[in-house]
Amino acid sequence: MKRFIYLLIILFLLLASSCRRGIEQEQERYVVLSPEIAEILAALELTQRIVGLTDECTYPPALAEIEKVGAFGGVKLEKVLALKPTTVFTTALEQDAIAQDLRRLGYRVESLYPKNVNEIYSGILHLGELTDSGDKAQALVKEMQSQIASIRQQNQGKSVPKVYLEIYRDPLMSVADNSFVGELIELAGGDNVFNTLERDYSRVNPEAVIKAAPDIMICYSRDSRQNILSRKGWQNIPALKNDLIFFEDDIDPDLIQRGAPRIVQGIQRLSEIYELWRAKTGE
Residue 69 falls within a domain, yes or no? yes
Q: Which pLDDT score is estimated for 27?
A: 87
Angle at 72 between CA 201 and CA 197, to 5 degrees: 5
56/125 same-domain check: yes
pLDDT of 17 reads: 45
Percentage with pLDDT > 90 across the chain: 87
Distance CA 244, CA 246 (A): 6
**From CA 269, how far away is CA 218, in angstroms rounded?**
12
Whether residue 180 is contained in a domain is answered as: yes
Average pLDDT, integer, range 277-283: 94
170 & 76 share domain: no
Residue 32's pLDDT band (boundaries 50, 70, 90)? very high
Same domain membership, residue 164 and residue 130: no
Residue 148 C-alpha from the chain's centroid: 15
Asked if 165 and 131 sit in the same domain, the reply is no
Evaluate whether residue 147 is within a structural domain.
no
pLDDT tens-digit series, residues 214-232: 999 999 999 999 999 999 9
126 shares its domain with 197:
no
Residue 84's domain comprises: 28-140
Specify the pTM. 0.88
Task: Look at residue 149 and tell me if it is in a domain.
Answer: no
- Domain end position, chosen among 106, 140, 174: 140
Stretch 185-206: mean pLDDT = 94
Mean pLDDT of the residues in the chain: 91
Q: Which of 140, 173, 196 is the last residue in one of the domains?
A: 140
Residues 166 and 259 in one domain: yes
User: What local confidence, expressed as pLDDT, does residue 9 receive?
Assistant: 47
pLDDT at 19 over 70: no
pLDDT number for residue 20 = 43
Residue 273 near residue 160, CB atoms below 8 Å: no
Amino acid of residue 174:
S
Count up the domains in the chain and report the number: 2
pLDDT tens by residue, 159-189: 999 999 999 999 999 999 989 999 999 999 9
Give residue 102's pLDDT.
96
Q: What are phi and psi of 281, to 5 degrees?
A: -105, -10
Q: What is the DSSP letter of 195?
A: S
CA of 77: how far to CAs of 31, 50, 66, 107, in Å? 11, 16, 17, 12
Pair 129, 34 in one domain? yes
Q: Do residues 251 and 266 lie in contact, with contact meaning Cβ atoms separated by under 8 Å?
A: yes
Mark whether 123 and 34 lie in a shared domain. yes
Does the structure show a pLDDT above 70 at 274?
yes
Contact 227, 199 (CB under 8 A): no
100 and 68 assigned to the same domain: yes
- Average the pLDDT over 94-122 and give the result: 94
> 148 in a domain, yes or no?
no
Q: Is residue 39 part of a domain?
A: yes
Same domain, 175 and 205: yes
63 contacts 57 by C-beta, under 8 angstroms? yes
Q: Which residues contact 146 (CB under 8 A, 6 or more apart)?
A: none
Q: Is residue 234 part of a domain?
A: yes
Which ranges constitute the DSSP H helices of the chain? 2-26, 35-43, 77-82, 96-104, 117-130, 134-155, 180-187, 206-212, 225-229, 238-241, 254-257, 263-281
Residues 88, 195: one domain? no
Q: Are residues 115 and 183 in the same domain?
A: no
Of 282, 2, 235, 263, nearest to 151 by C-alpha is 263
Question: Looking at residue 92, what is its pLDDT?
Answer: 85
Residue 85: is the preceding peptide bond cis (ω within 30°)?
Answer: no
In a domain, 20, yes or no: no
Q: What is the average pLDDT across 143-153? A: 97
Query: Phi/psi at 167 (nearest 5 deg)?
Result: -90, -45
Specify whether the backbone of 5 is left (phi greater than 0), alpha (psi in -120 to 50) or beta. alpha
Mean pLDDT of 136-158: 97
pLDDT at 94: 84
Which CATH number fits the domain that encloses residue 130? Answer: 3.40.50.1980
Indicate the residue among 107, 140, 173 that finishes a domain. Answer: 140
